[in-house]
Amino acid sequence: MINRQPARLPQHVAIIMDGNGRWAQQRGLPRTMGHRKGVEAVRETVRVAGEVGISYLTLFAFSSENWSRPETEVSDLMGLLKAFIRRDLAELHSENVRIRVIGSRENLRGDILPLLIEAEDTTRHNSGLTLVIAFNYGARDEIARAARKLAVKLAAGEISAQQIDAVALDRELDTFGMPDPDLVIRTSGEERLSNFLLWQAAYAELLFVPEYWPDFTRETFIAAIEKYGRRDRRFGGVNPVAAAVS
């Protein structure tokens, strides 16, 4: 357990787990070994999130653009996700973790979709950490699908054009019902969002850390949460202290 309680805890942390391939290449190993090691970092990160009392942890596991990778790597990644759910679902469930999956559910191969649905259904009533797996996820695709759902409702006469606003669109996103991420962390030193939560991260604090994902430890995670605690979030307003002295 952690005794260094950060001053201000993010309710929702989202992580772009990047750098598995480079971690492996640096060691002369095939990229897939980096992905394997990355699963261990996932386990540790989920544990720490639960311990410190974060309510939502979103992990970017596979993007809608990652299909463009070589077939062997794509099938390795699918295999690892399936193995993770098969091996860890019972334990996550016993730890009161609720699993939700965001991303497109169209055109998924083989037995992956039933497994994802099983993970969601099994843990549906859990009240601890919500682990959100972003799989086959791309923010532009998510926003476009939400717009399409609104268009269908409009065409059916269920809503009027005037009712289409940010709140209505937000309700059609895969993340419906979840708070927006407070903190988005990207590992591996890359400083971009790569089509991750573009809508929801509008006011998220962004943190780019140099470690490759397999090297992301409990300490790195705690340090990131502490850094978040020192950020001044203004949401377009003014800091009350600054406003009082001016």
What is the contact surface with Mg ion in residues (CB under 5 A)?
18
Interface residue with ligand IPE among 60, 84, 216, 221 (CB under 6 A) is: 60
Query: What gap in Å lies between CA 89 and CA 91, rounded to an integer?
Result: 6
* CA quadruple 129, 104, 88, 47: dihedral sign: negative
Minimum Å gap between C-beta 27 and Mg ion is: 16
Residue 81 or 150: which CB sits closer to ligand IPE? 81
Q: Are 134 and 116 in contact (CB under 8 A)?
A: no
Q: CA-based angle 54:200:95, to the nearest 5? A: 25
- Closest CB to Mg ion among residues 18, 142: 18
Contact window for ligand IPE (CB under 6 A) among 90-98, 141-149, 190-198, 218-226 = 190-198
Q: How far apart are CA 49 and CA 27, in angstroms?
A: 29
Per rule CB under 6 A, count of chain residues that contact ligand IPE: 18
CB closer to ligand IPE out of 73 and 180: 73
**Which residues fall within 8 angstroms of residue 150, CB to CB, at 6 or more apart?**
159, 164, 168, 169, 172
The smaller minimum CB distance to Mg ion, of residues 29 and 222, is found at 29
Stretch that binds ligand IPE, among 62-70, 90-98, 174-182, 238-246 (CB under 6 A): 62-70
For residues 160 and 244, give the distance between their C-alpha atoms in angstroms, rounded to a whole number.
Answer: 43
Active site residue 66: yes
Catalytic residues: 18, 66
Q: Using CB under 6 A, list all residues that contact ligand IPE.
A: 16-22, 60-63, 66, 77, 188, 190, 192, 194, 213
